[in-house]
Amino acid sequence: MDPDKIIIGIDLGTTNSLAATVFDHGPEAIHTPNASPIIPSVLYRDDHVWVVGEQARRKRVEAPERTVFSVKRLMGRDAQELESDIPLLSYEVRAAQRGLVKVHIGEEAFTPQELSAEILREVKRNAEAALGFPIQRAVITVPAYFDDAQRQATRDAGRIAGLEVVRIINEPTAAAIAYGLDQGQKGTVAVYDLGGGTFDVSILQLTGQVFKVLATHGNTHLGGDDFDMAIAGELKRRLREAHPEADLTRPVVAPLLRKVAEAIKIELSRAPETPYSLDIPEIGLRHSDIFTVDTLNELIAPYVEETLQSCRQALAAAGKAVEEIDDVVMVGGSSRIPMVRTRVEALFGRRPNISINPDEVVAAGAGVQGHLLAGGRRDFVLLDVVPLSLGIETLGGTFSKLIIANTTIPAQATELFTTYVDNQTGVDLNVYQGEREFVADCRHLGRFKLKGVPPMPAGLPKVKVTFLVDANGILTVSAVEERSGQEARIEVIPSHGLTNEEIERIMDESVEHAVEDLNQRQIVEFRNTAEAVFRGIDTAWDTAEEILTPDHRVQIEAQVRVVKEAVQGSDPVALKSEMDKLGELTRPLADAIMSQGALTELKRFFQDHSQE
C-alpha cells in the first residue's frame, strides 16, 4: 500500500461514519485492533473543543444543548426548509446569511459544513492511526438524492477537514460496487438504502465490467431519525397520560425520550416486545411500560410506505417491471427492521439480500472507487446519474430543464439566451433543481449574474450558457456572448453554502490554532477518559476489597485524588502521566474484572493503555 497514492473511502452518515480501503485481501473498513471502525456522527462542545464519536454520544442526555447530532440533515439546507426539524433538536439552530443555518453553542456559532468537517477529521485521524501514515485524499459518499447544494456542502466539509475530495459518489452506487464485486453479480439490481436520516433507492444494471445506474429516487429527509421521533412521541403521549402533572418541556426530557426510543427500536428488531423505563429525577418522574412491535409497525408504516413509493418511481424511471429485478440489496442500519424487510420483500416478490454488513458496505464501495482512482484495479466502469433535473427560470416563473433527471454523468447542456431591454449589459439567471413545472416548486441553487455583454438592441445578443455536471454530480455554469466573441464574466451568488473566502478563512484559522487546539483537545479527551475510569473504579470497589491489600487500596485512593486534581488543570502531559500511574496501580483490579467480562469502561481504558 503506497501512502502517497492511497485514496480512502468515507461513508459520512447521519448516525455513524467510517472509512474503508482496499487491502491485499480486498475492501475492508479501517480500524485499529480491538476497536470498531464505526464512529457515531455526534459532536459535543467542551471548553471550546469538539469531542467526536462515542464519548460525545454519551453526552446527549447529560448536556443536550451542547451535543450536536444528525448534522447531515442540515447540510445545504436553509432555515425555511428546516422549519419543522429545528424545534425537535436539543441544540440551537438559527438562520444565517445566504440561506445558511448555524448551530449556536454558547457564544459560538458553526455552519453544518464545519461540524461535518469535525466528523471527517475524526474519521481521518482513526484511519491514520490504523494505517500508520497521513491521509490526504478521499472519496466521500452522499445520498443519491442529494441535490447540488448538499453535494457542494459535503465537498466543502471535506476541504475544511484537510481532505482533497477526489470524488463524491452516491451511497447506493457505492453499495452496489461492493456487492457486485464481492458477489460477482450480473443483471438488474435494486439497492434499497435506508439510513439514519436519508433514504435512496437505485436501479442498476450490472454486467461484467459496467455498473450503470438506470434511475434513482429517494428522500434526503427520511430515515431512522424519523422512526426514533415517532417512538419518542408515543412515549411522551404515554407520560402525559400517566403523569399529567409532569413538566415535559424541560430540556432534559426530549433527549432522554430519543435515547430510550432508539433503544426500543433496536430491541424490537429481535423481539416481539420490550420493557422500558424512564427515570427523570429533574421532574420527579419514574415510568415503566411495555412497547410492542405492533405499536412500532403502526408508527413507522407511513414512512415505510413512502420508501416503497420511491421504489415504484425508480422502477418506472428505469423502465423496469418488478419481475425484471434480479436482486434487492438492503443497505443502511434502518434496513434491519423486520417490517421494512417484509414490506420490501412483498413489493419486489423476492427475499432481500442482506449478506453484506449494511453498516460497512457503503464505505467499502467508496474504498474500491478510491482504489480505482488511485490507479488500482480497473476492471469495472461506473456510470452514475443526475438525481434531479437542472435548469433555469424562464418567463412567467416556469422551469426550463436543461439536464433531465437520471441522465448519465458527466453531462453537459447548452442553451442560448438574449436580452429584453436595449443596451442591456448584464443578465440575471436563476438556476433551479427539481421536477415540477414552476420554479416556485423547485429548489433554488443560485443566481448567476452575466456581466460584460456589449450594449446592443434588445434581442441581438446571443448568450450561450453551458451547464456541466461533473462525475461528482456537482454543477458548474459558464457563458459566452457569441456575436462579440467575448466571454461574459459570471459572478456566482450561491443560495446556500460557503464562499471560497469563507472556506479559506476557516482553514487558515485551523492552521493558526492547530497546536493550541491539539493541547486543548487532549486535555478534554483525557478528562473524559479519567471520568470513565473513576466510574469504573467505583463500580469495581467491592471486588477491590476482595483481591487487593488495604495498603494497595489506599495507594489507589490517593492516586485517584491526584488525578482528580490534575483534571482541573490545563496540562495534558501532566494529566496523562498521573493517569498512567493510576493505570499501573489498578492493573491487577482491571485484570480480575476483565476476566469476569465486566466493567466495560474500565476494560476499554486498560486495553487502550496496554497498546501505548
Residues tagged active-site:
11, 72, 171, 193
The C-alpha cell 412521541 sits at 233
> Rounded CA gap, 207 and 223, in Å?
31
> Rounded CA gap, 367 and 26, in Å?
10
Integer Rg of the chain from CA: 27
DSSP states of 369-401:
HHHHHTT-----EEE-B-SS-EEEEEGGGEEEE
Q: Answer whether 31's CB lies under 8 Å from 130's CB.
A: yes
CA-nearest of 76, 84, 82 to 143 is 76
Give the residue ranges of DSSP H helices in 447-570. Answer: 500-512, 514-547, 550-567
> Rounded CA gap, 253 and 491, in Å?
47
CA 433, distance to chain mean position in Å, is 22
Pairing of strands 137-142, 486-487: unpaired
C-alpha cell recorded at residue 380: 469495472
- Indicate if the alpha-carbon torsion angle 279, 280, 283, 284 is positive or negative: positive
Which 8-state DSSP code applies to residue 89? -
Q: Answer whether 442's CB lies under 8 Å from 433's CB.
A: yes
CA-nearest of 1, 25, 21 to 11 is 21
Q: Answer whether 165's CB lies under 8 Å from 492's CB.
A: no
CA-nearest of 125, 123, 129 to 141 is 123
Which 8-state DSSP code applies to residue 66? G
> Rounded CA gap, 527 and 535, in Å?
12
Pairing of strands 101-105, 92-95: antiparallel
CA count, 13 A, side-chain hemisphere, 131: 26
CA-nearest of 157, 77, 92 to 120 is 157
Q: Given strand 67-68, what is the order of strands in its sheet?
A: 49-52, 43-46, 67-68
CA-nearest of 423, 498, 495, 579 to 159 is 498
> Rounded CA gap, 144 and 338, in Å?
24
CA-nearest of 472, 462, 470, 474 to 431 is 474
The full 3-state SS of 513-543, as one line of letters, equals CHHHHHHHHHHHHHHHHHHHHHHHHHHHHHH
- Bridge partners of residue 167, in order along the sequence: 139
Backbone angles phi, psi at 571, to 5 degrees: -105, 105
